[in-house]
Amino acid sequence: MLVCDCNDVHFDEIKEAVKKYGNDMKAIMEETGAGTICECCLEEDCEKVDLPLPLAIKKALKEI
């Protein structure tokens, strides 16, 4: 699942970052690069990705 189009970040990368940083979005962004260019994926209604970053973090927290 694509989470960040600009940096080609996928859900599995977000999930690994969530294991390290919990719900610290800034740390997850720094670790993965997600949300650091156009910032569309920071919005829950972003249509460029399969799962925007805030929702990806919530999903990962449920799965770990």
What is the number of structural domains in the chain?
1
CATH number at residue 6: 1.10.10
- In which residue are the tokens 């999930």 written? 15
Confidence at residue 1, expressed as pLDDT on a 0 to 100 scale: 97
pTM, two decimals, is 0.95
- pLDDT bin (cut points 50, 70, 90) of residue 25 is very high
Share of the chain above pLDDT 70, in %: 100
Average pLDDT, integer, range 33-53: 97
Confidence at residue 15, expressed as pLDDT on a 0 to 100 scale: 98
The domain in which residue 23 lies consists of 2-63
Confidence at residue 33, expressed as pLDDT on a 0 to 100 scale: 98
According to DSSP, the β-strands at 2-4 and 9-10 are antiparallel
Query: Three-class SS string for the chain?
Result: CEEECCCCEEHHHHHHHHHHHCCCHHHHHHHHCCCCCCCHHHCCCCCCCCCCHHHHHHHHHHHC
